[in-house]
Structure 1
């Protein structure tokens, strides 16, 4: 139980702005943290869902979507969005792995990153606005589903079969720390938990979003010879976007 608590603290301390004392910083704890990541998504998603539902109730679906996404971005310091932009610049550069990784590590954002951020945020906003227009509850459930799905994807990015692209950074700390059975378990538990809402779509959205993140992971491993923290962030945003789009069109 104590090791699980250390992993949970690591997860909240790394993946959110919540002030949590991280007492252990090692690879076993990092692996447990990635398995605890959906719980972080549950807490952050609940806060964003509440803000979005309140804004939608008073100001309409579009305002609710913007409020929810803003809260999620604020509670994560924009960590995943930054990773998405960096990966887009790295993939779009067309340069060898070492040069692409150097581009991703730079603090500025290039044209591929800007374009990707704009398109992804537009897609997320449009999908969520439609859900909030149906009802505040429907929109809140969509926010919660997206937040949990995004963190399920992190476990798959840290499978033991996936190497780190470079020796330093968060990616090197968490790469190769999660067993396949663990990733399957947290995804299944997350889907079953959302199934308790009596809506059949959120569990399907978890699976679809995770699979889409897996496609990005495959591309990044081939391109960069492994993962970085930016790749994990990009996987989270890809999973969330895919989940929201599925909920919107289904």
Structure 2
């Protein structure tokens, strides 16, 4: 129970801006629990996005404005952590084919032109797709499924067999901390629940999770190939890629 409690606190404290007590200890087992519980930690963010979409539709706000407000609330609720990771990952991958140089660029934290362009394009995809889903009448379900799918892929990124790109940092703490069976179970549960999303045809919810996972897997595979594994930034990049993919599938 201590491990579960610490895992919940680590997941909520890392993935959201919700204030929680610090974990009493952080080890690989606790990290694995935290990454597997990423969707649970993101429930307040998903609920906020869904309620904003429902409220915006109820008072007649234009779909683009509602989409921007919902995405902004999720970014604010996660302290922009994943967006920052996306930009840093893009800068690192675009900087050099030299692994050490790419990691050094990612460590700096300042966004260059590649990172900024990637961030803008991914946000435009998310914005356009959510706008389309809102116009089609299932924007709230699309937002909730996409936000949760984005956090589900953390278990994929931290599954056994996916190495850390560095010997230190968040990536080193969570790398290979999730058993493959648990990562597979998270996917199955996510896909199953998505088929029950109100307002979405069952197959569209399933497709959203599948496309979200595929987008994250592409980013993950590229990072493993180029820089040797995951970092905290790579996790953020995979989250945002999965959100974009899931929203596209619902648009």
Verify the 8 A CA contact 1:85 1:117 in the aligned structure 2: yes
Whether 1:246 aligns to 2:242 is: no
Match for 1:119 among 118, 121, 133?
121
Partner SS, residue 172 of structure 1: helix
Other-structure match for 2:160: 160
Other-structure match for 1:230: 233
CA–CA distance in structure 1, aligned partners of residues 50 and 109 of structure 2: 31
Question: CA shift at 1:208, angstroms?
Answer: 1.8
Match for 1:60 among 58, 62, 80?
62
* 1:129-157 CA distance string (max 9 Å, x none): 1111222xx11111111111101111111
CA–CA distance in structure 1, aligned partners of residues 194 and 32 of structure 2: 24
Question: CA shift at 1:116, angstroms?
Answer: 0.5
Verify the 8 A CA contact 1:163 1:175 in the aligned structure 2: yes
CA–CA distance in structure 2, aligned partners of residues 5 and 52 of structure 1: 32
Structure 2 stretches of 5 or more lacking a match?
A: none
Verify the 8 A CA contact 1:31 1:177 in the aligned structure 2: yes
- Structure 1, 71-80 or 103-112: larger mean CA deviation: 103-112
The structure 1 segments of at least 4 consecutive aligned residues displaced by more than 4 Å after TM superposition are: none
Verify the 8 A CA contact 2:12 2:42 in the aligned structure 1: no
Other-structure match for 1:214: 217
Verify the 8 A CA contact 1:60 1:132 in the aligned structure 2: no
Partner SS, residue 86 of structure 2: helix
Whether 1:47 aligns to 2:37 is: no
CA–CA distance in structure 2, aligned partners of residues 108 and 6 of structure 1: 31
CA–CA distance in structure 1, aligned partners of residues 122 and 214 of structure 2: 17
Q: How many residues align structurally? A: 246
Question: CA shift at 1:2, angstroms?
Answer: 3.9
- Structure 1, 1-10 or 97-106: larger mean CA deviation: 1-10
* 1:28-66 CA distance string (max 9 Å, x none): 100011010111233311112112321233312111100
Verify the 8 A CA contact 2:97 2:226 in the aligned structure 1: no
Other-structure match for 2:32: 31
Calculate the TM-score normalised by the size of structure 2.
Answer: 0.94
Other-structure match for 1:91: 93
**Where do 1:130-149 residues align within 5 Å?**
130-135=132-137, 138-149=138-149
* 1:196-247 CA distance string (max 9 Å, x none): 2363111221122112211111110110011100000000001110111111
CA–CA distance in structure 1, aligned partners of residues 78 and 30 of structure 2: 20
Verify the 8 A CA contact 1:92 1:112 in the aligned structure 2: yes
Calculate the TM-score normalised by the size of structure 1.
Answer: 0.94
* Change beyond 3 A, Cα 1:64–1:56: farther
Aligned CA RMSD, in angstroms, stands at 1.3
Verify the 8 A CA contact 2:3 2:29 in the aligned structure 1: no
Verify the 8 A CA contact 2:208 2:245 in the aligned structure 1: yes
Partner SS, residue 110 of structure 2: coil
